[in-house]
Amino acid sequence: MKDGDTVVVDIDLAKSFDTVNHDVLMNIIKRTIHDKALSSLIGRYLRAGVLVGAH
pLDDT tens digit sequence for 1-55: 678 888 888 877 777 767 889 899 999 999 999 999 999 999 998 888 777 777 6
Residue 11 lies in a domain: no
What is the spatial distance between Cα 46 and Cα 16, in angstroms, rounded to a whole number? 12
What is the amino acid identity at position 48? Answer: A
Residue 22 lies in a domain: yes
13 HSE (CA, 13 A, CB side): 1
Determine the pLDDT at residue 3: 82
For the chain, the domain total comes to 1
9 found inside a domain: no
- Farthest CA pair distance, the chain: 44
Distance CA 31, CA 10 (A): 30
Which residue range is the domain that position 28 belongs to? Answer: 16-47
pLDDT computed for residue 1 by the predictor = 65
